[in-house]
């Protein structure tokens, strides 16, 4: 997949894969730090999180740079995965060395799923929704619970509870769209890193879907990114690519998730 996006606003951005990786890693690390049982470590050219095994952002390895001990760290990752199931390894187009994914497969890891990284390439449209930040902990907890219940439908109640708690206690910005009486209709997490803004956990209440609210929320976040002069990046499942493309996004890379063959 091409790592260059060309358009009149962003221009040629060969650094988008790095910006996307940076944003994803910053987001996962922030969520990991929102769980008090999780420990983050950066060493040997990559970052690891040790925490509850049912939360991918609390038990992962990501952000790989090329180092002389590459094969050794692959062996160490496989050994860790054998000792404790639940380890996720996230690989983006910016990770190195180029044979990283082949080496993971050779060590017994299996590909679980792949998402597409996209960037907003069109000028932000007029944002026609009342999006406001969740500033108090009470509002953050309410927003995070809404996100977990809407966005993580396949996760059990305990997992959704822990995801909501980590989200509320992270340092990422949570934005909410309210209807009459303060009823929460939609929400999104906006993650800032030095080179980009990231859009995560976009969700709309079931009874409000199909009315354009999701597109309005995206437009509001596009406006935030434009105001900061940063690209807006996201990662989505392949079926959502067409919807985001209609909103002015283009693909620039991939995020592939691996687990050990005897793990999750």
pLDDT for the residue numbered 262: 64
Percent of the chain with pLDDT over 70: 91
Distance CA 221, CA 149 (A): 21
Contact predicate 120/249, CB 8 Å? yes
What the block records as the tokens of 230 is: 């940063």
CA 62 to chain centre: 12
Following DSSP, what letter does each residue of 54-77 receive, concatenated? T-GGGSEEE-----TTHHHHHHHH
pLDDT for the residue numbered 3: 40
Q: pLDDT at residue 244 above 80? A: yes
Contact predicate 191/23, CB 8 Å? yes
Using CA atoms, how far residue 116 sits from 69, 92, 113, 135, in Å, is 29, 10, 10, 31
- pLDDT tens sequence across 170-225: 999 999 999 888 889 999 999 999 999 999 999 999 988 888 899 999 999 999 99
pLDDT for the residue numbered 181: 84
- pLDDT tens sequence across 97-155: 999 999 999 999 999 999 999 999 877 666 667 889 999 999 999 999 999 998 888 88
The number of helix segments (H) and strand segments (E) in the chain equals 7, 11
Q: 212: number of CA atoms within 13 Å, CB side?
A: 6
Distance CA 87, CA 112 (A): 12
Higher-confidence residue: 163 or 4? 163
Distance CA 133, CA 245 (A): 26
Distance CA 250, CA 253 (A): 10
pLDDT for the residue numbered 8: 40
Among 165, 129, 125, smallest CA distance to 144 is for: 165
Q: Nearest 5°: phi and psi at 76?
A: -65, -40
């Amino acid at each position: 997949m091409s790592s260059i996006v060309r358009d009149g606003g962003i221009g040629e951005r060969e650094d988008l894969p790095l910006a996307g990786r940076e944003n994803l890693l910053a987001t996962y690390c922030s969520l990991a730090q929102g769980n008090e049982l999780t420990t983050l470590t950066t060493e040997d050219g990559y970052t690891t999180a040790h925490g509850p095994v049912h939360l991918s952002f609390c038990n992962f390895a990501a952000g790989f740079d090329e180092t002389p001990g590459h094969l050794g760290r692959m062996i160490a990752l496989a050994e860790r995965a054998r000792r404790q199931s639940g380890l996720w390894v996230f690989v983006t187009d910016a990770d190195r060395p180029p044979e990283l994914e082949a080496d993971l497969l050779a060590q017994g890891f299996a590909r679980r799923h792949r998402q597409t990284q996209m960037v907003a390439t069109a000028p932000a449209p007029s944002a026609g929704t009342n999006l406001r930040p969740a500033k108090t902990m009470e509002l953050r907890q309410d927003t995070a619970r809404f996100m977990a219940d809407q966005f993580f439908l396949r996760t059990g109640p305990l997992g959704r509870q822990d995801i909501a708690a980590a989200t509320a206690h992270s340092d990422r910005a949570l934005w909410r769209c309210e209807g009459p009486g303060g009823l929460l209709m939609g929400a999104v997490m906006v993650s800032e890193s030095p080179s980009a803004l990231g859009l995560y956990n976009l969700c709309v209440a079931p009874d409000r879907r199909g009315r354009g609210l999701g597109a309005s929320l995206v437009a509001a976040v596009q406006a935030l990114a434009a105001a900061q002069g940063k690209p807006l990046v996201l990662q989505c499942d392949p079926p959502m690519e067409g919807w985001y493309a209609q909103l002015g996004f283009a693909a620039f890379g991939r995020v592939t998730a691996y687990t050990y063959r005897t793990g999750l």
